[in-house]
Structure 1
Amino acid sequence: MSTAADETVRELMLVMPRLVGRAKRMPPPEQLREFDLAPRHLSLLSLLVLDGAMTVSELAARLGVAPTTVSLLVGDLSRKGVLERREDDTDRRRRIIDISAGSRPAITEWLSPGARAWRRALEPLTADQRRMFVDTLLRYEEVVAAPDEHR
């Protein structure tokens, strides 16, 4: 006899591969294809598209990684001309990271359909339901990353 949870798991096991498959069919813009972008690059670029320019520390906090990790990503993408670093007008020791003017249109066009789809899917939910949805995905990611720790 299957439980309601089993039915939900079954449905998610069917939908998740389709979601991943659709995401993989959204190739990066032509000018970025040669860069072999990884998911961590996509997360960083998404933040910059959605929230605008920010410091390495701010990016690290939002991505949940060490500032040194973000510095490596930024350095890599800066050398390729995808990102630019500029001095913070209010504190010359800080660097502001942003998508380069030449890359912004292509990156925005690439990432916008996904953002619009999430917005449409989440719009009918209450704030608490959206938070539960995100928390559930984060918990799933955590369990998948370290399955033996969560038996």
Structure 2
Amino acid sequence: MSRAAETPDGARVPTPEEILALGHVPLLASFFRRVHNDMPEPLREVFAEHGLTARHGAVLTQLVAAQPASVSQLAQRLHVSLSTASGLVGDLSRAGLVTRHEDPGNRRRTLVSMPQRHRPLFEEFVAARAAPLLRAMDRLSPRDRAGFVAGLTEWAREVEGQDDDGPDC
């Protein structure tokens, strides 16, 4: 097996096929830039009024997927420091988008959840944002879908590892 070409700093040079695939990545930027435009108006107003960012949205997405969660669980899932996660939760709590309460199983632990009144609005937003990806994945075979999910997951881990304080989008 021949060794892949490397740059002077040791990074692997992508193959021509990989370069073609990587050409799609910048096209996704517009999808991420229009996140606020895709938000339901009441949610967009809360985000604007309280200066909330995509990182706050990432916390809410985690709570829609599996709630309640402790602040340390959120920090771990988002690959951010505990203090960053705590600050994000505090901002969301002041905005009224999350509640904090004592864990009945461990009184020293605080759990974070999304109030039921906000859940349908945020679920609608997540579904709308996920629709293009889910349609694309539906066209893949189960094997290709599993490979895509594995590749995307590893890419996200690699990118997150470059920024100790986690993702911005």
TM-score range, shorter chain: 0.7 to 0.9
- Consecutive unaligned residues of structure 1, counting only runs of 5 or more, are 146-151
Aligned positions of 1:83-98 closer than 5 A:
83-98=98-113
Instruction: Identify the residue that residue 130 of structure 1 maps to in structure 2.
Output: 149
Moved more, 102-111 or 23-32: 23-32
Normalised by the size of structure 1, how large is the TM-score? 0.76
RMSD: 2.6
Q: 2:35 aligned to 23, 37, 41, which one?
A: 23
Q: Deviations over 1:1-38 (max 9, x none)?
A: x933443333433x223323443431354152422321
Distance 1:126 1:111, change over 3 A: closer
Count of aligned residue pairs for this structure pair: 142
Distance 1:126 1:103, change over 3 A: closer
Q: 8 Å contact 1:29–1:106 — kept in the other structure?
A: no
Residue 42 of structure 1: CA displacement? 0.9
- Consecutive unaligned residues of structure 2, counting only runs of 5 or more, are 1-14, 164-169
Specify which structure has the higher proportion of helix: 1
Instruction: Identify the residue that residue 149 of structure 1 maps to in structure 2.
Output: none
Residue 46 of structure 1: CA displacement? 0.5
Q: Which has the higher contact order (CA 8 A, sep 6+)?
A: 2
Q: 8 Å contact 1:88–1:96 — kept in the other structure?
A: yes
State the distance in 1 between where 2:107 and 2:161 align.
38
Aligned identity (percent) is 28
